[in-house]
Every structure is written in structure tokens, then in C-alpha cells.
Amino acid sequence: MKTADPELMRAMNRLSVLDVIRRHGPIARVEISERTQLSPTTVSAITASLLDDGLILPRHEGDIRSETVRGRPRVMLELNPGAARVVGAKIAANRMVFVVTDFCGTVLATLTLPIRIDRQPISVVADIVEDGVRRCVLDAGLSLADVHSICLGLPGVIEHRSGHIRSSPILRDSNVDFAAEMSSRLDTRTIVESDATAIALGHHWFGRARDLEDMVLVSLEQTLGLGVLHNNRVFRGAGGLSHNLGDLVLGMNSEGVVRLSSQAGETAILSFQHSEARFAEAVRLGRGMAHAQALIEADDSQLITAAVRAGETIGFTIANIVTLFAPPRVIVVGSSLALGEPFLKSLRDAYALAMPPSLHDVSELVFDNSGDDFWARGAAAVALYELYESPWSTTGPASSV
């Protein structure tokens, strides 16, 4: 019988210990052992290594010099916020949002660039990203030499391990080695990740899934994305591929394959010709969903019909995801939530109708309207997650992807 890879097991145990300290610190070693189910000897060895690397700090409870306190002070462990600084960015069709965080995920600086990029060649996009990263790092009172890694989150099919963007609705080019390009420009390790995976890790670290080790996130932005967390680890496809939920096949018609994006994607919802001229301008500028919200609140029948159809299709899709993964929580995020109650009601009704009776109480459905800053923090969480997984020293040089 083949045994587990010792190096992999050590990395997994290290990640587990760090994650417990992140969630529950300051925390004693004995409690870490209880929460991780690792032996006290293993926990002591891992925490000693983490202390040597400067990733965690000791905090002494009690004062050994006090006559009223007997015994040695209790040593508690917590993350060292100064262990690393990372940059996270959300890259969308009409804006870029950057954040700089410390090792605990505390935001040190933010920057928003309201600029349309979906018609620009990749060299121009790279120029804008480079300038945004440098400006945000400077605003944080740092230099790029102080930054350990950068994560760029954007919609599309992303190959995480290589940093290749296979396709993205906001880029004119396909099969772009964006991680290598940005690592070279910034001379800093750069990760490229799907925005759905980034926001899933953001919720795991800072948001609505902080208490969970398993969850599913459905992103309803320009691309319909899926983020899956299992046993505290991101689940990805072959080569670290992201999941493009919009490519899911719903059936066939006279025109060929019918995919989810054609029924419930942002483009499909906003694609019809509307009588109000301002609506077309809002769509062209990437503000279609916000304008659609106002029209739905004014009882616009065309948009209400489109919202109900999209909500129903997404509801059935989420029911299928729950049937496959049975996560304790499904978090739904993205611009489509701006469609309001017609969309949400049809989604909930379709979800309830499609769920098997045996699974009706398994998953909690949560809707979250986190802003762009939170999405960028999610990208930063990806960079931090990579640091957690890898045994590295804060004094060593950052390597490029």
C-alpha cells in the first residue's frame, strides 16, 4: 500500500496550523493540537519552524514577575502582521481595484482606477496594471522591494499554476502568459487567478465563510464563475484551471448547444434593445446592471422578464451544484444581484423546486453584495494562501511564477 508523500503531509499540516492561528489566535499550542487533531509534538515542531520563519509571534499571558501569579506565563501564538505584504487586484472591464495588505489581511492602502480596458491590447492592459500596483504600494508607504507577491484576479478561464489566461471576456487576446509578463515588469512574484476563486478565498478569510472549511461560491459578474473550497483548500481543475460556470451546457436547440451564459449571463440579461437611450449608454460603459436596477424598481416589464428568467436558470444550476458537492454554504455574489427581488425570488423558488428532498436542509444559501474593495482583498487572500501553503522564509527572495 502506497503511503502519503511526507513532504505533502508536512505542507498540509503547516497550512492547517497556520490557518488555526489565523482564525483563533492568540492561541495556545495545546488548543492548536485539539483543533487540528495533530499530536502536541507535531504542533511544537511546526510552530517552532513558523517562529523561526517569522510568520508567527509569541504573546505571553500573565507576568512572571508578579507575586500574585504562580508558574510561568502562558505562551499564546498569533500571526505576525509584518511577516509579508501582498498586493491584490480585481481587474474588470471598466475598472481596476488594488489593495495592499499585511500578513493578517489588514488593508494598508486601496486604489480604484475607473478605466475601460476591454478594448485595449494586452500591452496596454499590462501598462495600466503595472502603474496601479506601483501607485497603491507607494500609497501604503512601501516600495515593491517590501512586497512579497501580487495576485491579479480577473474573469475567464485561468490556468493558475502557469499564470496563463486561456480566455477572458475583458481581454482582446487569448492564451496570454500574464503572470510571466507582470512578474518581469514588477520584478515581484505575480499570481493570476480567476475572480471567482479570489472572492471565494476572500470570504473564507474575511467574510461569510470564515467559520467553514468547505463552501461553494457562485459569481454572477460578466463571467459566471465558480469557487470551491474543500477541507480548507481551493479545489481547481487540471493544471490549476478555474471553473467557468457560464460554459455549463443546459441543452440543445435548433441553433446548437445552449450554455448557461446565454441564459443568465450579464450580456444575455442586458442584450435586448431597450426603448430608453440611457440604458444602451449605461450598458456600453459597463454600468448596465446598476441602470437595470433602477428600471426594475420602476416596473420595467422587459427587464423584469429577463431578471426572472436569469434567476430561475441560476437557481436550477445552484441546485445541481449542491447535489454534486453538498456544501454547508453557497455564497452568491456579483453584479446580477443588483436586479433585486424579481431575480432573487425566481432564483430561490427554482432552487427550492429543484433540490432533492434528501438534501433540502444541507446547504445554506447566502447572498452577498460585497464591493470591489472586498474582491481585491480576495485576490490578496490568494497571495497569502500561497504563502501559507509553502515553507518559505521572509528573509528569502521572492521568486517569480
Nearest partner of 95 among 380, 277, 367, 335, judged by Cα: 335
Nearest partner of 148 among 209, 197, 87, judged by Cα: 87
**Cα-only R_g, the chain:** 23
Mean of pLDDT over the chain: 87
What is the average pLDDT across 184-206? 94
What is the average pLDDT across 369-395? 78
pLDDT at 65: 44
pLDDT at 288: 75
What is the average pLDDT across 282-294? 76
What is the average pLDDT across 127-143? 97
Whole-prediction pTM value?
A: 0.86
pLDDT at 88: 96
Q: Are 388 and 207 in contact (CB under 8 A)?
A: no
Q: Are 308 and 349 in contact (CB under 8 A)?
A: no
Cell of 311: 434567476
pLDDT at 344: 96
Cell of 208: 461569510
pLDDT at 397: 32
Cell of 92: 474588470
Give the span between the Cα atoms of 321 and 330, in whole angstroms: 9
Give the span between the Cα atoms of 225 and 246, in whole angstroms: 7
More confident residue, 290 or 125: 125
Nearest partner of 80 among 49, 102, 109, 47, judged by Cα: 102
What is the average pLDDT across 21-27? 88
Give the span between the Cα atoms of 313 and 311, in whole angstroms: 5
